[in-house]
Structure formats: C-alpha cells, structure tokens
Structure 1
C-alpha cells in the first residue's frame, strides 16, 4: 500500500494559468464594483443592481476557477450539495426579509 500517493478520482486540480485567469477576473470584477461606487457613475437602485450582478458573476468565477466545480459526472454530488446550500440560503434570507417587511408594514409604519 502506497501511503505517499493517493488517488482522488474525479477531482480536477487547476493549473497555474487557470488560477491566474480566475484571479484576474476577480480583480476586474472587484475594481468594477468599487469604481461604480467611488465615481458615482451609478446611484441608487441602478448601483445596487449592478453591484449585485457583479457579485453573482464573481461567485461563479470563484466556483469555477478556484473550487473547480463543473457539471461533469464526477462533480455531480458536489454540485448537488452546493445547489441545496444555495436553495437553503435563499429560503432563509428570503423568508427573513419577507417577515421583516411584513412586521415593518403592519406594526411600525402606522
């Protein structure tokens, strides 16, 4: 039994090039969001939507380039676990916002 070499079936490890692409994309997305706020190019609702969209794109970049998540058959359980986590977070955050909104409308804003 070889203790120094372990096989990780189905796991893909990135190359230096893929990590560099992910890093550059992350820096560009962060700089774009920072630029929108600091220059005042977008304000109010438009700024919130643009920053939210950039955040979602950055999450995808991190998942693909750094966590190596893909839709391959070897990654099926990882993708399913991540999907369940996202669904749970949407329910928790969305439900909390809904409850707080209803409390504010029914109790405090009268």
Structure 2
C-alpha cells in the first residue's frame, strides 16, 4: 500500500528492500569519496609492504611480522571502504557472516597444520625406510 503523499512517478521511501536506499547527488559524491579514500589507503599499504621488503627500514627478522601487520591493515581497509562492513545495527548479519568465514578459514589452516605436523611425527625416518625397501 502506498501513501497518498507520494506523487506519481516518485519512489515511496517506505517501500524498499533492505539495503536498497535512494541515492541523492550528495550521497553519490560521498560514496565515490569513500571508494577513492579506500583506494588511496590500499595503494599506500601496498607500497609500504614493498618498501619494507626492499629496504632496511625494518629489522630483517621482523620483516615477516611487518608484512602480516600491513596485510591485516589492508584487509581492514577493504572491509570498511569497499565492502562497507561496519558495526552498525543494520550490518549485524554481515559481521556474523564475516566472523563465521574467518572461523572456517582458521579451522582449515590450523587443522591442516596440526594434521601435517602429526603425520610428519608418525613418519618412518628415511634411513629406516630405505633399509625396508631393499
């Protein structure tokens, strides 16, 4: 049912799907500004990772940890500026889906490392295996 105050040809703001919002000229410019800011930050973090690897600004044994920190920051930039994952009340499902996805990925990674570690421990040493093959 439409409201009588809505003129013909105009969109009723009450009649919209979740996440489907009318975009005015100011909203469009704000959206583009958000994407450009995200792109700038992503490029800056990418350049920083190349600088960390190719210079001596970071102590050599700490380079892998610096790259992990820059990668996590890069993921944060992508989540906020491009995927628009925020902690707002309308993004609860998105945050829960992201958390579940992270849980599954961590379970697969750590489960694989655990299984491979135990397989390596249970393997026969190469010298003994060669003796049994003769």
Normalising by the smaller structure, the TM-score range is 0.7 to 0.9
Equivalent position SS for 1:9: coil
Deviations 1:12-34 (A, max 9, x none): 78611111111111011111111
State the Cα distance separating 1:74 from its structure 2 match. 0.9
**Counterparts in 2 of 1:19 and 1:89: CA distance versus 1, 3 Å:** same
Tell me the equivalent position of 1:48.
64
Equivalent position SS for 1:70: coil
Q: Is the 8 A contact 1:19 1:65 kept in 2?
A: yes
CA distance in 2 between counterparts of 1:71 and 1:90 reads 22
**Counterparts in 2 of 1:100 and 1:30: CA distance versus 1, 3 Å:** same
Structure 1 residue runs without a partner (length 5+): none
The answer to whether 1:9 aligns with 2:25 is: no
State the Cα distance separating 1:87 from its structure 2 match. 0.4
The answer to whether 1:97 aligns with 2:113 is: yes
Backbone CA RMSD of aligned residues: 2.6
Q: Normalized against structure 1, the TM-score is what?
A: 0.80
Q: Is the 8 A contact 1:11 1:74 kept in 2?
A: no
Match of 2:49 among 5, 10, 33: 33
**Counterparts in 2 of 1:70 and 1:97: CA distance versus 1, 3 Å:** same
The answer to whether 1:57 aligns with 2:73 is: yes
Equivalent position SS for 1:15: helix
Q: Normalized against structure 2, the TM-score is what?
A: 0.67
Q: Which runs of 4+ in 1 moved over 3 A?
A: 5-8, 10-14
User: Which gives a bigger RCO, structure 1 or 2 (Cα 8 Å, sep 6+)?
Assistant: 1
Deviations 1:78-101 (A, max 9, x none): 111111000010011111112222
CA distance in 1 between counterparts of 2:106 and 2:91 reads 22
The answer to whether 1:88 aligns with 2:88 is: no
